[in-house]
Amino acid sequence: MPQTPTRPPNAGLLALLLGLGAALPVASLPNPATLYQRSLQADDLYSYRGRQITTYWRTGRAVAVIVSHRAPTLRRIDYLAPDAQRGRCVAEDGAQEWQYDPRHRQLLHRRLAPNAEAVADAAERYDLLRANYVLQVLPQSRTWADRKVFLVTITRRSDRTTARRLWIDAATGLVLKRENYREGGKLALTVAYSDVSFHAPLPRAQFTLSALAKRPGVKTVEEKPSGEIPVSLGAVANQFGGAARAPARLAGYRLVSAALTHERKTLHLRYSDGLTLVSLFEQRRTQLRRPTRVPPTMRPTRVGRRDGYVARHSALTALNWDAGPLNLTLMGEVAESALRGLAVEADR
Amino acid sequence: MNTHPHEEQLSAYMDGRLDTAQTRQVARHLNACPTCRKALGAFQQARLLLRGLDAPASPGPDFWADAYRRLRVEGNAPRTLRAGWTPRRWAAGLAAAALIAAAVVTPLATPGPMQKPPSAVESDFVDVSSLVRAHAASAARQPLADPDRQTMIAADVDDFPELDGAAVEVDGHASDTDAAP
């Protein structure tokens, strides 16, 4: 069991992280397509436990967690830092998920919807990725967290700036470190394992928190299932009596999957550029005479020529606006200006 | 004991809740059965992990004094603060006021049987938090995604009811993909 830090990660920790990587002599390099394929399969094949640190470079803040994964679907995240989140835990056994918040002694439980994503089409996704980005395996073998890794850079074709750098474990394909860059090539965040073990004991009982529900003082909250119903791409335009908007493309993004959620009242369209997912949520308006209400602290803004709202959560940006009989929400981890451009396209 | 003990029995054995005869029986069985020893090991491991999830202890002895100091520092102390109102009495007063407020406000704020709280699609209201969770769940399933970070985003969304930039900054999850300098 790794030692748990008692204070939030600081500059020393970040320096340690940066110091973990070291270049080794050149070795034979796999091609990017092979590495991509292997990284997609890593979680299905390998069980591991490691300490992972996410650093948000703009604010210098960091979140440290222990990730436990038992192949193929059991997963658990234990928060170590910052102090305000220490003790939080998210566990998933493939069919159910628990989130425990020790501050409020609250256990949130929900049944997971079946995976509606067509992730099986890896070759198609890889083509999409290559259409928007250039992948390159750097001609140097390296180590990260005491393991041999290949460093893959993913560069945007549009402006030739770096979008991602991935340190992929040579033996398993697991991504041990990743750097996400903003448009313009500025480093936004780093997600990195400081240590990882593929031999840690991972008993099944770790991946369920149902025992906590019986503890005195713990409040269990059952979340209503979203009731997600996959919609084939060909049938998207027929939803809401034909009123749904279903552009097949938004700039470099392509519609990759769709589902009806929230008792069939929300249509969730997922657009991908091969690397980043953008969601377009469509809901039928029930009050056409007045604007749809949003959480009160969303900021008013303009979406093209329409009035709308903008909000941010973590690295996500969300835009919401009324468009005739529909209310649309577009969100993704992309710059607000880029998201606005996509919103205007979605509204055409 | 020829048959394997049930999970409940193993759990009770671990807690010391079995009587002497039962404890001996289970111990004897464990001595001879590697499968049950393994199961017991898993139980013990799970318990150790759960132990780390305990809530922080109740406020320490300095809590109220500190709260009182803050009231004064932040200029929120009532102007009619009188001598003799010690931190302890202030705490009692605040607690009583909170109880009264709760008694008055709660029935107004709590939805009645016909007043359901708005969901993501209830009437003309959009619950963006619910949509963030749906997006994060989908994003976690994408190729080359960061499943753990997406899970964290989905799990944290209730901590950010404001969903605005200020709230994000306070909790340290800056909008790092934002184009602002």
The pLDDT confidence band at residue B75, using thresholds 50, 70 and 90, is very low
Q: What is the pLDDT of residue A260?
A: 92
Helix ranges, chain A (H): 11-19, 32-45, 122-132, 336-346
Answer whether B102 touches A (CB < 8 Å): no
Q: Read off the tokens for B93.
A: 């007063």
Helix (H) or strand (E) holding B61: none
**CA-based nearest distance B127→chain A, Å:** 7
Residue A249's SS3 state is strand
Q: Locate B145 and state its tokens.
A: 């995604």
- Name the average pLDDT for chain B: 55
Give residue B29's pLDDT: 85
H helix count then E strand count, chain B: 8, 0
DSSP class of residue A230 equals E
pLDDT confidence of residue A223: 81
pLDDT score at A326: 94
Suggest the residue from A48, A103, A316 to mutate for an interface test with chain B (most B CBs closer than 10 A).
A316
Task: Indicate whether B2 pLDDT > 50.
Answer: yes
The nearest CA of chain B is from the CA of A22 a distance in Å of 23
Is the CB of B69 inside 8 Å of chain A's CB atoms? no
pLDDT at B164 over 50: no
Distance from chain centroid for Cα A345:
24
- Whether the CB-CB separation of A231 and A258 falls below 8 Å is answered with yes
Give pLDDT tens digits for A112-167: 866 555 445 777 888 999 999 999 999 877 899 889 999 999 999 988 999 999 99
Higher pLDDT, A191 or B80: A191
CB-based contact, B22 to chain A, within 8 Å? no
pLDDT beneath 70, residues of chain A: 1-27, 113-120, 226, 314
Size of chain A in residues: 348
Contacts of B163 in chain A (CB under 8 A): 295, 297-298, 311-313, 318
Band (pLDDT 50/70/90 cuts) for residue B15 is low
CA separation for the pair A101, A130 (Å, rounded): 41
pLDDT digits (tens, 9 = 90+) for B103-161: 433 332 333 332 333 344 446 888 888 888 889 888 887 777 777 777 777 766 654 43
The average pLDDT across B25-42 equals 79
Q: Is the pLDDT of residue B60 over 80?
A: no
Cα B69 to Cα B74: distance, rounded to the nearest angstrom: 9
Supply the pLDDT for residue A83. Answer: 82
